[in-house]
Amino acid sequence: MATRSAAGSATAASRGAPGRGPTSSSAPGKALTDDQRAEVREAFELFDTDKDGILDYHEVKVAMRALGFDVKKAEVLKLLRDAGGNGAMTLAYADFVAIMTEKLLARDPRDELRKAFALFDGDRRGKITVRDLRRVAKEVGEPLDDDELQCMIDEFDLDGDGEIDENEFLSIMEDDF
């Protein structure tokens, strides 16, 4: 990441620079994990393309997409109007953190897992097959042969049909959490 001069840091700090500001939402007992806070900070820093400590419309939209939120133009404009308050249609770091904290904490983990399942279920049959695993392995550059892929299916196939359905996938993934 780019470093700022002492003067630039002081200016950015006065606007809510990364490393400052809220890290939890108004939801009682809920806060972002250290990893989530780091992801939000990294997204802000990465997409603050002019390094002024403020995100404009395009920077906000791309940063939110990088964090997994498919936002429409109207939603981004509303966030900027509501959070900006000064009519500038920009977000300082603290405002971005507050918005992203609320959005991240509002996510339903099961919905996220269902989206992940859909990425594997390429033909939308509701089942993950060896063919689906082969495609994903190839996409991510992981050289696995069919025997290894079949072992993955066999390991987690709870009903013995030779495929992983959504419920089996959710069971597998939720065991990791």
pLDDT value for 27:
47
In CATH terms, are 6-106 and 109-175 the same topology? Answer: yes
Query: What does the domain layout of the chain look like in residue ranges?
Result: 6-106, 109-175
Predicted structure pTM score:
0.58
Name the band, by pLDDT with cuts 50, 70 and 90, for residue 56: very high
pLDDT tens for each residue of 27-41? 455 788 999 999 999
pLDDT value for 70:
87
**Span 109-175: which CATH code?**
1.10.238.10
10 versus 137: the higher-pLDDT residue is 137
**Is residue 2 classed exposed, middle or buried when 0-12, 13-18 and 19+ CB atoms within 10 A define those classes?**
exposed
Helix (H, G, I), strand (E, B) or coil at 106: helix
Name the band, by pLDDT with cuts 50, 70 and 90, for residue 109: confident
The yes or no reply on domain 6-106 and CATH 2.130.10.10 is no
CA atoms within 13 A on the CB side of 146: 3
Sign of the dihedral through C-alpha 58, 60, 64, 70: negative
Task: Please state, in angstroms and rounded to a whole number, the distance separating the CA atoms of residues 143 and 45.
Answer: 34
86 versus 78: the higher-pLDDT residue is 78
